[in-house]
Chains A and B, each alone.
Chain A
């Protein structure tokens, strides 16, 4: 019991970040605005922990690859001929050029555009151009592409780490695994039955932690999203999602350890389908589904795969899982610039209308709501960076009423509380203070 709680809330030796995250729920503005702290995060957090890379269905076939960034590092993720997945830095060991200029594709090798050095798609250096210039002592092994020392996949979510000593992904996920399982199980298909496609992609002029905070901020809904609420209510009446207006609710937020957080709205979610806004094609596609299945109950079950699933699960540091196949990745670009890339999961064996509806639903909130989040994050980023006389932000809400589970260590609190955010910053402090060494193999 004690060990579980300790693992979730490690006590580090005192470190230089102790002064930035206080026990009373105050967090220093510099963690959002200081470029030096950002550089440290890119190593200690985006190198030193497990970072979500991609979903297995994005590189389904041997020799498929996708290029991404990991804490800004251009990275190639490939599925090699034997089916294994390898992540490597897109950086020629010769003079630093990217070796892969395509966003994605299928290739058995990568040839550097500068001098033609040729690598197998597992990063092994196969050939150098005009080898006589290097002599027989040239060491091919030490000139391979820089590969991530650790890579694990959980329920088709592929994570990588540049920290060879990082704990297992299972240990890292901890209690967050339960909700991730719930989310994947809800789709109810084998891993091979999923196809992830890109969704809405956004960028905002703010720190990556702003988005990370926002995803389990259940306090702002009736205020920041007032325009959305008023519009929904005036056009569709009460009962559509996001209609809650105060903290008298069964909905909760939870801190799950290792920086992971959950906004759990399922207690007030009667029906994903009934409570979602109408999207283009709602009637025709649901009617087509009913006609195809010829079974009202089965139709209802399928329709529950569309719309809000009731979870806002943040897997630290960069993955946001919303259920019903929707997830997003936070991609830090600079201390004050972040990309947020959403993804939609299609169900290969489900009737087509379900996938159509999922696609339409995943377009929805971004056009009637989430840009208000981006706007506020940009405003905050500017404010925090130019007002040295007010050093602190306050994430203390909920300290007076949070509940700690003595067995799992999970901390639960009202949906509107900062409890999850606060827990994540305590863990941030631990990650920044601890000794960590990142490397490639």
Chain B
């Protein structure tokens, strides 16, 4: 076999058992419902908003540079990553999502791509995320709930594609900064046949 495997991912954290439960499902769905109903009430301060924006730009930059291990350090112990396949009234219980990942499945995807022989990423996608329309609210406990638009420009093999989504983040405070507890991407074309989105959006 000509291609050398670059990594067997032994340096990634060990898979941790599923913390995904019906209660977690309900929490994520409640979060999205809250976000959809958001108005001017309970907005974070301007100073906080600046910090949140910086954090989102840093997160986007890590993903663009495929620095997955560093990106992973931004995630909470019970992180959920969700890309629903419906545009409204999405549920985790009765729908097959485009992505529904806990840390374990996310690590699987990272390990899979870091083997270097994931054919759908030979060559790798070159991405540039444009994050904007960032708004933040104080959430339950000391969490912060953030809405932000994203356009993920992807260049691969002579084609430039755009993945467009409304993002919802639930952030927790950590060490003077933030960590991500929930990340939801509401892709504009979520209910249509997807092309080769074989990288982490």
Contact = CB atoms under 8 A, between A and B. Distances in A.
A276 to B, nearest CB: 13
Interface in A356-374: 356, 359-360, 362-364, 367-368, 371-372, 374
A339 interface: yes
Contacts of A356: 22, 93
Interface in B167-201: 191-198
Given A227-B117, A376-B119, A280 B196 contact: no
Contact of B193 (A203, A226, A227): A203
A231 B98 CA distance: 20
Interface stretch (B33-41, B42-50, B107-115, B133-141): B107-115
A363 B97 contact: yes
Interface string B9-23: 110100101111110
A224 interface: yes
A281 B196 contact: no
A279 interface: yes
Interface string A234-266: 111000000000000000000000000000000
B108 A277 contact: yes
B187 to A, nearest CB: 12
B15 A360 contact: no
Interface stretch (A150-158, A192-200, A389-397, A428-436): A192-200
A165 interface: no
B119 A235 contact: no
Q: Number of contact residues on B: which range applies?
A: 35 or more
Interface string A166-205: 0000000000000000000000000000000111111110
A410 to B, nearest CB: 33
B95 A197 contact: yes
A7 interface: no
A247 B196 CA distance: 30
Contacts of B117: 226-227, 230
Contacts of B149: none
B9 A375 contact: no
Given A235-B15, A346-B94, A363-B96, A280 B101 contact: yes
A382 to B, nearest CB: 10
A282 B119 contact: no
B94 A227 contact: no
B20 A344 contact: no
Given A277-B108, A280-B20, A367-B109, A227 B115 contact: yes
Contacts of B126: none
A284 B104 CA distance: 14
B52 to A, nearest CB: 27
A385 to B, nearest CB: 16
A339 B193 CA distance: 7
A281 B97 CA distance: 14
A227 B1 CA distance: 13
Q: Number of contact residues on A: which range applies?
A: 35 or more
A324 interface: no
A228 interface: yes
Contacts of A231: 9, 108, 111-112, 115
B196 A375 contact: yes
B120 A363 contact: no
Given A226-B115, A230-B5, A235-B15, A374 B20 contact: no
B10 to A, nearest CB: 6
Given A371-B196, A372-B120, A200 B96 contact: yes
B50 to A, nearest CB: 34
A228 B112 CA distance: 6
A405 interface: no
A352 to B, nearest CB: 8
A203 B18 contact: no
Nearest to B122: A375
A278 B104 contact: yes
Given A197-B94, A341-B193, A372-B119, A278 B18 contact: yes
Contacts of B20: 280-281, 284
Contacts of A236: 15
Given A200-B96, A227-B117, A235-B15, A280 B108 contact: no
Contacts of A346: 94
A344 B102 CA distance: 21
B37 to A, nearest CB: 26
A143 to B, nearest CB: 33
B127 interface: no
Given A226-B115, A236-B15, A367 B99 contact: yes
A340 B95 CA distance: 17
B161 interface: no
B193 to A, nearest CB: 4
Given A197-B95, A284-B21, A344-B96, A224 B119 contact: yes
Most buried by A among B18, B107, B194: B18
Contacts of B54: none
A283 interface: yes
Contacts of B101: 280, 367
A364 B109 CA distance: 10
Contacts of B21: 281, 284-285, 288
Contacts of A368: 108-109, 112
A204 B80 CA distance: 28
B111 A234 contact: yes
B15 to A, nearest CB: 6
Nearest to B98: A200
A235 B111 CA distance: 9
15 contacts: A197-B95, A198-B95, A198-B96, A202-B195, A204-B196, A228-B112, A230-B5, A230-B115, A280-B101, A281-B18, A281-B20, A284-B18, A285-B18, A339-B193, A346-B94
Complex A-B, nearest 7 residue pairs according to Cβ-Cβ distance, in ascending order? A203-B193, A281-B20, A280-B20, A280-B102, A371-B198, A375-B120, A371-B120
